[in-house]
Amino acid sequence: MTEAEGARIFPRFAGKTVLVTGAGTGVGAEVAVRAAQEGARVAIHYRSSKAGAEETLRRVREAGQEGVLVQADISSWDQIKRMANEVWEAFGGLDVLVNNVGDVSSEQMSWRELTQEALDAVVDVDVKGTLLMTHEFGERMLEQGHGSIINVGSTVIVRGSPRAPQYAAAKYAILGITKSYAKVLAPAVRVNTFAPGFMETERLLNRADWKSGRREVLLSQTPMGVIPPPEFVAGTCLWLATEEAAHLTGSYLLADGGFNMVGA
């Protein structure tokens, strides 16, 4: 990050606490670091990528903020409850939850390759995990009287996915989770969906279809003319938890460089 870019970061989360799931790599790591750069104490969740989570923690501390690591398989409600207890013990509460973690079936290149295992993995993490995280943390935020939950969705729901239809289905389910809990938890807790478009994460860069021309096709169809790294949209994601977005709940915020341009 250049000095000029750093000057544009404001402490929107000074004194706040933020938990980001799947923060060991990709989008989650960048959202966690951005939250720290904006003044938050950050809980960094991981399931198996401990080394990545430790690197994120190092970057959070480098930004001058307190950070803690929490480990859990979010397809397990018992593990979610344990993690919530750890976060409350560390921070005394939680202001913002970013449900970022998700299974994208990245190894699957065609709908014909669908397996029972691939379907179950996506549903367990993307649907059950997001619902249980929103339920457990949302209930605790309601009891404390405030909070904001951001469920990271996808623009795949706009066009569907011939590559991995189970992924599109699971991400569409997140809209139902978001809207339901936005009504249940209002007005104390807001719940919104953030939907980034394609981002050049390590996982995407290593996908076979990305290496064989798909990147160039998508670039030609993106008005902003760029497929950005995840740090490019981290601040946009967190905006949903700011006071500037205080009247937004149950919403779907799309950030894809104009690729879809969804209408009302």
List, for residues 58-79, the tens digit of each pLDDT value.
999 999 999 999 999 999 999 9
CA pair distance 166, 118, nearest whole angstrom: 8
DSSP-derived pairing of the beta strands 147-152 and 67-71 = unpaired
**Domain range annotation of the chain:** 9-254
Look at phi and psi of residue 11 and say left if phi exceeds 0, alpha if psi is from -120 to 50, else beta. beta
- Single out the catalytic residue among 46, 167, 181, 252: 167
> In terms of CATH architecture, what is 9-254?
3-Layer(aba) Sandwich (3.40)
Contact 39, 14 (CB under 8 A): yes
List, for residues 73-99, the tens digit of each pLDDT value.
999 999 999 999 999 999 999 999 999
- Indicate if 181 belongs to the active site: no
Taking alpha carbons only, the member of 18, 128, 30 closest to residue 70 is: 18
Helix (H) or strand (E) segment spanning residue 149: strand 147-152
Contact 205, 214 (CB under 8 A): no
List, for residues 171-220, the tens digit of each pLDDT value.
999 999 999 999 999 999 999 999 998 887 777 777 777 777 788 888 87
List, for residues 216-262, the tens digit of each pLDDT value.
888 877 888 888 888 999 999 999 999 999 999 999 999 888 888 88
DSSP class of 153: -
Q: Is the backbone peptide bond immediately before 187 cis, with ω within 30 degrees of 0?
A: yes
